[in-house]
Every structure is written in C-alpha cells, then in structure tokens.
Amino acid sequence: MFDFLTHDMLAIIWFFLWCVIWGVYFIVDSFSLGAGLLTPFIATDKVQRTQIQSSVGPFWGGNEVWLILAAGGTFAAFPLVFSKMFTFLYLPMMLLLIGLIARGISIEYLHKDENPQIQKILMWGWFAGSLLISLVLGVAFANFFKGLEISSGGVYIGTLIGLFSPYALVGGVLFVLMSATSGALWINVKTEGDVAAKAGDLAKKSTLIVLVLALVYLAYSFMGIEGFTINYSATPALYLLPVLAVVGAILAVFFAKKDRGFPAFCSNLLAFLFVVESGLASIYPYMLKSSVSLEYGIDIFEAASSHMTLSVMLGGALVFVPIVIIYQLWAYTLFKEKIKETEQVDY
C-alpha cells in the first residue's frame, strides 16, 4: 500500500496528520474543559450546574478520544517520540493523567448522589481536572516549541522546575484561558437563562484577555525563542498560521461584544487551533526539539515507523477519520436545542 510514496514522504504526511489531530483535540475538548473551569464560578445552584453539565455531557467523551488518538498515533507513527516524550516528562504526564481521570469521573458522577457535599467535591474535581489538563498541556506544548533540554546522544538533562520558564507559563495560562473562553461561549450558546447570560458577560472580558495574551505569546515565540523563525523564513506562507490565530482572537472579541455567541465561539476555536499550529509548524522537522542544540533533537525521519506501519496507519486514518468526523457532527445535530433550566436530564 502507498508504495508510490517514499518513507520520508510518509513520515512528512504523518507529521502533518499528527499536527492536525493535536489541533482537533485542543479545539474539541476546549469547551468541556472550559465548562469545568467555569462551573464553580457561574453556576449558583444544582439546576444551573446540571445545565452546564448537560451542555457538554453528550460530547466530552467522544471528544477526549482525539487525545487518545494523538497518543496512539504518536506511538504508531513515531514510537521514539512517544517513548521519549512520556519518559522525559514523567511527572507532568502523571499529572495530566490524574487530571483526565478526575475530570471524566467528576462529569459522569456529578449528581449521581444527592448529598450536596459530594456534589460540591465533584464540581471542584471537575474544575481541578480541567485545570490540570489545560495547564499541563499548555506548559508542555510551549516546551515542545521552545525545545526540551536534550543533550548529545538523546540524553535528557532537564528538570521539573526547568519546564516552568516564563514562556511556558504564558503558554500554560493562554491554553487555560482559551479553554475557559471556549467553555464560556459554549455555555452561552447551549443554555438558556441566568447561566447563559453570565457566561456571555464573562466571555466579553476573557476574549479580550485571550487576544492580548495570544499576541504576547506569539510575539515571544517569534522574537524570544531560538530557532522559531527558521521554517517561517524558508516558507513565508506559514505566516498565515499566526495571522489566522490573531484574526480569530480579534473576531472573538468583536462577536462576543455583539452577543453573537456562536460566531464568537468559532472564532475563539480558530485562534486556539492556529496558536497550536503556529508552534507546531516551527519545530519541523523535529518532533522533540532540543533547546541545547538543534542537532540533538529527535526528527520525524529518525522517529518514524517502517514504511509498512505508516502505510497501514495512513490507510486506516483516510477511511476512518472522515467516518468519525461524520458521526461526531451528527451527534451535535442530535442535541442542538438549548438547555433550559426547566428541562433536567437524568444524568
């Protein structure tokens, strides 16, 4: 299969798919994460909590699978990267894992028990899990763009503290805020009543902060991160990516201000997607860039699986990714009504 493609071409295609899968994950999970981040602050009672929970309930599980696909895809297409990424970042990955477990359980069990104390713990569990996921991933991706401290022979010399550089912190906060904004706009679009109004007001402010922070982050990336501009200089068309990110962030501010929730939501996703892609475009041909010296990084050609494995996976992805997208979109059309305070689903 795909014998007409060389191994290098397959590796490049898979790097592209890898960037797409991560980008899709970040945007589709953003609103469930954001809902978790905001629930403690905008839901005043169980009714409103249930509204928010029901607005993401049908979707979060299927959306999280994009993360599992990103991990599984990395394992299959670039085993070396899978191994090194998880080994180098052992503790952050464990934190991410605990966040994922806490978030999933909290959403599913939120109101399974009538005890208000337990419900409260689970609400904060949902918050903490969402915060861990978005923060760890934000910090991790900033570090991927900046480069990990990989020394000669692929030896990792970084420390846990070393991961929290100012750049990584800006990245972490930006990812958290973009998720929160996504959640606010989603709640604004998908629910009715008090909670929708509060979320809409919040989005007016948060879209503005996201815009400022995205500009800072991108400026920092292009001016303060070594090697970031190499691919951009070689292929100026790539500048479209950060431009789209900024355009998205500006449109989000504009639409949020006009109380047009859905376009604002989409604009914010556009910003999020292209912030991620701007960074990923900068690291090619590396997947794990080294901040010690570029030559120590792990590049896609070195990390890629065999021609056979990449081909089989490409075949599987070309057939099944479109099918998945179709039935996931269908699921959104199933539950397109706004969730009212009076309609409480037994979840």
Partner 1 sequence: MIELLLLSRLQFAITAAFHFIFVPLTLGLALLVAVMETMYYRNKNETWRKMADFWGNIFKINFAIGLVSGITLTFQLGTNWGAYAEFMGDVFGPPLAMEALFAFFLEGTFLGAWIFLGHNRQKLKAFSMWMVALGTNISSLWIIIANGFMQHPVGYEMAADGSKVVMTDFIALITNGYVWYMLVHTLLAAYLLTSFVIMGICAYHFLKGNNNEVFKKSFSIAVIIALATAVMLPVLGHGYAQYVAALQPTKGAAMDAIWETGSSVPMYLIQVPDSSTGSNSIQLLGIPGLASFLYTGSFSGTITGLNQLPQDELPPVEMIFWSFRLMTILGSLFIIVALLGLYLQKSGKLYTSKKYLKLLMWSIPLPYITITAGWIVAEVGRQPWMVYGLLKTANGVSLVPTSDVLLSMVLISAFYMVLLIFEIYLIKKTVVNATGVE
Q: Which residues bind partner 1 (CB under 8 A)?
A: 54, 57-65, 68-69, 71-73, 75-80, 82-87, 90-91, 93-94, 96-98, 100-102, 104-105, 108-109, 112-113, 305-306, 308-309, 312-313, 316-317, 320-321, 324, 327-328, 331, 334-335, 345, 347
Q: Which is nearer to partner 1, 14 or 145 (CB)?
A: 14
Please report how close the Cβ of residue 291 comes to partner 1 at its closest, in angstroms: 20
Tokens found for residue 202: 């919040």
Query: 156: buried, middle or exposed (CB in 10 Å: 19+, 13-18, 0-12)?
Result: middle
Q: Which is nearer to partner 1, 94 or 216 (CB)?
A: 94
Q: Hunting for tokens 């899978």 — which residue is that?
A: 82
Please report how close the Cβ of residue 325 comes to partner 1 at its closest, in angstroms: 9
The residues near 40 (Cβ < 8 Å, ≥ 6 apart) are: 123, 124, 127
Residue among 69, 88, 73 nearest 25 (CA): 69
Q: Which is nearer to partner 1, 98 or 197 (CB)?
A: 98
Please report how close the Cβ of residue 236 comes to partner 1 at its closest, in angstroms: 34
Please answer whether residues 340 and 192 qualify as being in contact, where contact means their C-beta atoms are separated by less than 8 angstroms.
Answer: yes
The residues near 343 (Cβ < 8 Å, ≥ 6 apart) are: none
Q: Which is nearer to partner 1, 25 or 228 (CB)?
A: 25
The residues near 30 (Cβ < 8 Å, ≥ 6 apart) are: 134, 178, 179, 182, 183, 269, 272
Q: Which is nearer to partner 1, 83 or 231 (CB)?
A: 83
Please report how close the Cβ of residue 155 comes to partner 1 at its closest, in angstroms: 10
Please report how close the Cβ of residue 53 comes to partner 1 at its closest, in angstroms: 11
Give 158's DSSP letter: -
Q: Which is nearer to partner 1, 9 or 121 (CB)?
A: 121
Please report how close the Cβ of residue 12 comes to partner 1 at its closest, in angstroms: 18
